């Protein structure tokens, strides 16, 4: 398999990290059954995909990209779904996370 495949799987793992982070909000402290179950399933898939990628990608880079995708995506969805602040400094720092993810990918 190509290295591109592993990066795509890592991106998918990051998307599932976003899903479980947002799911935590919807589960209301695991008090709502369906969002709670979906959150746990997303956690397992996210971690499983990350674990798979770590067989092929550098651990420091892969973990940083995984958490960066999760952090940036969760922050963006928080703005969209929960009306969290979208001020210029916050957007700039989200942008810096995204720039960091891209930089790590190209220097791995």
With a cut of 80, say whether residue 88 has pLDDT above it.
yes
Q: Name every residue whose Cβ is closer than 8 Å to that of residue 39 and which is 6 or more positions away in sequence.
A: 19, 20, 23, 24, 26, 27, 30
| pTM for this predicted structure | 0.92
Task: Please state the length of the chain.
Answer: 108
pLDDT > 70: what percent of the chain?
Answer: 98
The pairs formed by 76-83 with CB atoms below 8 angstroms and a separation of 24 or more are 77/18, 77/22, 78/22, 81/22, 82/25
With a cut of 70, say whether residue 108 has pLDDT above it.
yes
The pLDDT score that the predictor gives to residue 1 is 59
Cβ proximity of 81 and 22 under 8 Å: yes
Report how far residue 18's alpha carbon sits from residue 23's, in angstroms, rounded to the nearest whole number.
8
Place of tokens 């179950």: 37
With a cut of 90, say whether residue 2 has pLDDT above it.
no
Taking only the tens place, the pLDDT of each residue in 15-60 is 999 999 999 999 999 999 999 999 999 999 999 999 999 999 999 9
The pLDDT score that the predictor gives to residue 107 is 86
* Mean pLDDT, range 7-14, rounded to an integer: 97
């Amino acid at each position: 398999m190509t290295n591109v495949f592993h990066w795509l799987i890592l991106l998918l793992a990051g998307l599932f990290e976003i899903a479980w982070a947002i799911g935590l909000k919807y589960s209301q402290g695991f008090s709502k059954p369906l969002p709670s179950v979906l959150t746990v399933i997303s956690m397992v898939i996210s971690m499983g995909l990350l674990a798979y990628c770590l067989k092929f990608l550098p651990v420091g880079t892969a973990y940083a990209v995984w958490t960066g995708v999760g952090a940036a995506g969760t922050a963006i969805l928080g703005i969209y779904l929960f009306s969290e602040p979208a001020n210029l400094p916050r957007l700039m720092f989200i942008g810096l996370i995204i720039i960091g993810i891209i930089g790590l990918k190209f220097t791995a």
